[in-house]
Structure 1
Amino acid sequence: MTGFGLQQRQRASQIQRICQKQIQALKFLAMDSKNLTEEIYKAAEENPALVITKNRSSWDRTKTAVPTASGMAASENFQAALESKADERESLQDHLLGQLNSMRLSETEKSLCEKLIFNLDSKGFHILAPISLLDKKDKLQTPGLLEKCIETVRQLEPSGICVVNTEESLLVQARQRENAPPLALFILNGRFNFLDPPYPEKILQKIKAFIAKQKKLFADSNAEEYSTLNPTLRSVEEALGFIRTLDPLPARNFSSGEIHFIAPDVYIEKISGMAQQNQLEENTVSGSGGLWKIRLAQENIPQISLNPEFMQLAENKNQNSMEEELRKAKEFIGMLEFRQGTLLRACIEIAKIQTDFLLRGPGNLVPLRQKDIADKLSVHETTISRIANSKFIQCEWGLFDLKFFFTNAASSKNKNISKDKAMSELKKLLNSSSGKKMSDQKLSEELEKSGIKIARRTVAKYRNKLCIESSYNR
């Protein structure tokens, strides 16, 4: 009975893990590139088994994914509604100015502090070099006063703003803490690379090697300071634990007030006539009069991979905790691969069906349901619904919401004519009527002559959507 109970607990644990993976995979499917990027950075920050391989900023690197089958079963029976909500949080600038106004400062100091505050980006970092903010015509605005004003702004909440980058932010936060370990201050003061990788044993080795090198430098005035550190594995672990309590993005809880531009998630590019003579490449679609290449916009999402140093250390140490981090990292990469792969495959199938649009542009969509693409990919319809959420396709006709390519038939009598096609033909008919005020019934009859059979009331509905008034008011 004891063994049976253990098996039940293990099975329950496995089921719970699978459910969590499914939920997370489905969330990835629905995320736009901005939210997915934030999720990747968060995972890389929390899990040492993950590494970002291409630098985009001090905390922004990119990784290549290891394909797995994780998340393939995650497309079934989980409906999620994502709601957009305006960012009503207080801006960082308003928050800082409110504190600044309560301080007793000279007009020159206040002016410089305000310039510094409005020079901060959404992370709380300088946009322009602070020295460029000085008014050369004002003799009171000196570099010394600027440094004083920078320190004044740094004393405001949140701690760690008005700095150059993340490293300086962490150092400022640490210096403002009363319990900062000396070794933590030593590392953060220009030796942030000691934390890569963030393993105490390796950090200790780097610190000892650095101190030994400094002792050999006869003219080094700080040699005594280094010799008093006496780093141990315990003190390194204490310093590392303290650094982890600091916030690398102290301004994250404030509204950025930024304008977010839409970026494509997928590109559909027409291939030249010379290239069409070659054999079809991977992820290409052919249609009457055209050949197109479909590719993901990889530049908008960081690539991620397993940390080779962590893998080597895990193999040597053989610790359960490290194996757990490695398992989570593999699952995370697998879910990303599932998301990207499903998005690409869905867009390839869409392109195969909507070749008339790709060739001739708007007004040439054919009827297409999300269920049709789901059947071709052998996934649930809700998976395609999530994939279509907040994703954009760039083609030669412009940037389009992925949902744009899904359109119903114009009517039950015209299953091969899409609503998009019918509305396009209706607009052409109204524009070419040469001043004739055709009624909805007459428009219905004219459309039928071109093979589009829709009722008068459907014509009226489409006309209203085109913002065109009735013949009586035209």
Structure 2
Amino acid sequence: MRLELRQKQKQILTEKMIQSVEILQMTSQELKEYVNEVMLENPVVELDEHVKENTGTESIEERQQQTSAEEQYHYLTQRQSDDDDISNLKNKWNVDPNDEETLQDYLWSQLLWKEYSDRDEKILKFILDSLDDRGYLTDTVEDIVDSVGETKEHIIQLIEEVRTLEPAGVAAMNLQQCLQLQLQRRGELDHNMEKLVTECLPLLGENKIPQIAKKMKLSIDEILVMCERLKTLSPKPGGSFSNRQQMKYIIPDVIVVKFKEYYDILLNDWMYADISISPYYSQMQKNNSSQEVKDYLEQKIKQANWVKQSIEQRNTTLLKVARAIVVHQKDFFEHGSAYLKPYRLADAAEEIGIHESTVSRAVNKKYLQCSQGIFPLSYFFVRGMQENAEQSGAAIKGMIRELIRQENKKKPYSDAVITKLLNEKGIQISRRTVAKYRDQEGIPGASGRKDWKQDSVV
């Protein structure tokens, strides 16, 4: 038996430290819910709304910043008020104003004008429920026959009844049939259009216009005219209606406002109220004769102060990270995704003077709103973010989209050229990865993006 003496260094996180880390990772919405929970659990906590008095002594720049902050406050508080009103309306009248008309509702409202037996009404409702968000019929005729126990001929008759409704193309089995129904409704389904839709859609999706012209024995100009007619059709007739799953809005945690000579960075702290200590309980803690009460209140006051301090630290860190992003990615805020520069978490950590893991927690699940749109904070860290490679990929995808948007459509960039352009910007990426990202974004290859009309006019 052998005894050894070893020295180990351990870092033990206290409950307060864990709480501080958790608060740092919270989004504005999560922090709002957390602050409300703290108020309910801790009797000494009071919540103060954000109010900033105008002293009249601010500089022009300070007034501009205050104005932008007040506008953001008005927007957010108004939105919160609207949400509360909607919630009250739903509770009082059992009506949800967020429930927009679905495709099924719209179709059923058209069927109500006609007389159907109770049996047919149930079958029609079954057919409507079988439509997906695009407006396509997801069940086959045989599936519906098996489900409702009706003859095939009668089911086909009722499906055709649904296909006479608006929007045109609804209840189609696939894309080809959807386009055919719309062309038929317009009286434009001639032999050539039917052949284009039924036999050439895969080639059309790849923009292989010369091959289509050869197959159909027509000129490129004639095919292009037919393609323009197809572009006026809707491949998803049900797409303009409300989805059955309600959309969730992203609430930005940081707002970047562009002024003439500088950028103003606003923290979305209007979402949650400030924490303060109740003077009543503070006085009670000092003067109460019961030591047990004094100890209890002292503990609660310390807890509230620590939460307040952690929130302030979280906001300070988030602002520092946002400022570092704006400084480093200024070209992005000026011109868009194609000008995004390589940036690592370690770079930001070194500039701010904090640990890299702290930066990672600060940007986790948080969003930045600017004139270019709303982006995850991690979007701006193009490299060195292995723990969130998906967001790094999203940033590069944005750059690829921007390069393709600016290309000459007569001579679109190949994947090799895009790779070279990204490499010149400092983004080390392979051609295979570029092709993968392009496919994931639903962007066709160079031949699929080529504008054949320019060549045909020459």
- TM-score between both structures, scaled by the size of structure 1: 0.45
- TM-score between both structures, scaled by the size of structure 2: 0.46
Q: Which has the higher helix share?
A: 2
